[in-house]
Structure 1
């Protein structure tokens, strides 16, 4: 694996930097910095999506024939790294990076033609209907039922059940959903992948407020909700195969290390002005420096793993179970960095402003500055990293079975 960038890649990096300097506005950057949760609010995320869409860079991971950039894995990595270091918000991952690849890989021509342009334009905003109250880590045990009916109105599924921890369901007009279409089949075999219109009778969304006070997740109830058979992706019963494909993208579809490194550098900069209680600053405290160094080594190790995966993708290989290793390491490092910020700020970091958003003209006044205002909320929110997308225990099991062959 050659870590040196080619002259062409260096030129591309400079192009990305120039674009970010010109187009990443202070409002968007500040909004991202003041967002404690994993997903930025739509008004920030969609604003940045629109900027990238105008440039033709929004679907940078998609194939060119579906509206993507056709970039190489190295170019995608450069773009993500430069966006992270510039403080750009995360992209709207549920539509762009999760359901879109399923649609262009497994969908019908009609589904591709209809849904992919609407994801790019922002006309469709997606949520994910996977987890259920009794089916979290054991996702294949889900009980949401979809019964196929046919009459003068055509063929459709009638869906009943509920989904939980549904991120941004209160904003979404579409949901990609796993539902059991064959109760007699093996639990992995009787599931189908459906595209659900959220703006119809029978759907209700109940907010779930996190410990940090964020309204990011919800419980969604589906009562006699109708889904045309034409909005099933893949064959009936193929939902589990599509879900595994999607989860590989969720766990390893982005490079986490650049964002983690950016956040660590910000904390290090804050440490230069934070007293250590002994006449110096925390930046000069030996134990603090050792702790930062350990985390930095972890981030750099993660970056090497991500680069290795990119190299393999560039040579035609699939991401595979290595994405579980990325998810496991990135989740733990995310929590380590957010705990580091809390420990640095001390009492000032205990500020937990429950008003949202923390940006814009209506934002509450920070008591000790923005880093302190977002620290506790970010720390509490990041506890979910080792749960969503498959818990640490699930990832460890996948690694043990498929990588170590235990």
Structure 2
């Protein structure tokens, strides 16, 4: 089986997708062949430059033409969030497989519309929650399933960055709900919810609060100030369907934090803790043996934690963000080849994004929200 890829959008994530599709076959060896067929961006000369750099056969500045092209099998969507819905619905209607960056869309009704369309379509869908594909994170899930820490009773997670910490940063589209949707919840919190869901299962209800730290920012042209409409920080106390509890916190204004996606799962016989900034390590504590010798032990990712070994035969040499993207791409290609659902699909992503919108609703309306 050979598949043709159409990639819409350059920038950080567009490049990450291009590199991952180029690498997947070489890393795994057992995947369908992928032809980098068409790259789309604006303006056309940028599309041509990046198509050549990324290794695509041709360039276009017309995403609809890319989708209408019968040779395209997979549409990769890495454009700004506000454009996800329009492009994804067109691609689903055309029978394409879709690899879309998170979040699905700016609003929950739009995400629900996308998910409903995906359930009726013939193409497979995958959403870019690549941190879920980390081999050491998957090990944590297996340890929980095997009862290593007893019954999971509490999840504590936080995800912080500092890209909006500076009060002198000019106003941008990120501050307006019509363009960006949610703030830290849409950018960062959805990743934390995806981890929470993997470790603990679905959230049943929550109560939350949010804040806007910098309520206005100066316009780039110096002509005045404009309001910031979406949240800089968010905190939620959650109850899972299992009966367990948890806390979820997110900030885009935390000085010094670059990708501080950390979480702990507390069980009746121990706990597991993880930090995305040290993404090849897992720490586990089990209440076994003499008390004077109990303590956390660190598990370092290695070839025993599939598919780490496909990248490197030696432990301690580390996987990175791009490698997790390559694993993500491989999961989609296998799903297409085997006629299976990919994960996280549009349906999975809708569950994550329902939670972040519930946090926003709880904060704005001052009440507990049941999902």
- TM above 0.5: no
Q: TM-score, normalised by structure 2?
A: 0.26
Q: Which protein is richer in helix relative to its size? A: 1
Q: Which has the higher contact order (CA 8 A, sep 6+)?
A: 2
Q: TM-score, normalised by structure 1?
A: 0.24
